[in-house]
Amino acid sequence: MFRQLNHLTVVADGRYARPEELNFLHDYLASVETRISAYEKIRAEAEMMADKIQSMQKAENPHCFHFVNGDRSEICRRDLVDTIRLCASAMLFSELDLLRDNFLLWYRTIVKSFNYEAAASSTYGKYLPTMIKQLLTPEEQRVMQPVLALGSSILSE
C-alpha cells in the first residue's frame, strides 16, 4: 500500500491520477474492515499461537530447539511471535514487498545458518496456516492468505 501510494505520487506528479491508477486504493479500502478485524484477532492470539506451535514442534521432536550452545526455545519463540506480528502488519497494510524485502529474506538466512529449515517448514508451512485458518473467518483468511503463502515459500525452502 505505502509503496503503491508513493509510486502514485511520483507518476501523477503535476496531474490528476487516472481512474485505473486509483484501483489499488478502491481494492484496499473495500477490504480495510476485514483487514483490521483479522489483525486484531491475530494480535490477541499471537502469544497463544506461538505457545501451541512450539508445543506441537516439541511433541514431534523434543530437541528441535537445541542448537550447538543449548536450548534456544525462548529465542525461537520470540522470533515466531515477531514473525506473526510482522505478517499481520503486512496483511493490514497490504505490504507484501516490504515483508519479503525487509524481513523474510533476512530471516531465511538466519534459519539456514542454524539449520532450522525443517522446523521453519513445519512452523510456516503447516502449523501457522492451520492456526490462522481456525482463528479467522473465510473473508479474513482471503486477505491473510497471500502473506502466509509468501512466508511459507521463503521460509520453507
Q: How far is CA 42 from CA 62, 84, 140, in A?
A: 27, 8, 11
Grid coordinates in use for 9?
505520487
Q: Does residue 145 lie within any of the structural domains?
A: yes
Q: Does residue 15 lie within any of the structural domains?
A: no
Q: Does residue 88 lie within any of the structural domains?
A: yes
Residue span of the structural domain in which 107 resides: 32-155
Q: Tell me the residue type at 130.
A: T
Q: Does residue 85 lie within any of the structural domains?
A: yes
Q: What span, in angstroms and rounded, lies between the C-alpha atoms of 5 and 83?
A: 25
Find where cell 479500502 sits: 29
Contact call for residues 50 and 135 (beta carbons, < 8 A): no
Could you tell me the pTM of the whole model?
0.89
Sign of CA dihedral 37, 42, 48, 52: positive
Predicted pLDDT of residue 69: 78
Q: Does residue 26 lie within any of the structural domains?
A: no
Predicted pLDDT of residue 157: 65
Q: What span, in angstroms and rounded, lies between the C-alpha atoms of 2 and 122?
A: 31
Among candidate residues 105, 90, 85, the one with its CA nearest the CA of residue 3: 90
**What backbone torsions phi and psi does residue 66 show, to the nearest 5 degrees?**
-95, 125
CATH number, domain containing residue 76:
1.10.490.20
Q: How far is CA 54 from CA 38, 46, 84, 152, in A?
A: 22, 12, 13, 17
Grid coordinates in use for 37?
478485524
Q: Does residue 130 lie within any of the structural domains?
A: yes
Predicted pLDDT of residue 42: 98
* DSSP one-letter code for 19: G
Q: Does residue 13 lie within any of the structural domains?
A: no
Q: Does residue 17 lie within any of the structural domains?
A: no
Predicted pLDDT of residue 2: 77
Which segments in the chain show pLDDT lower than 50? none
Total of domains in the chain: 1
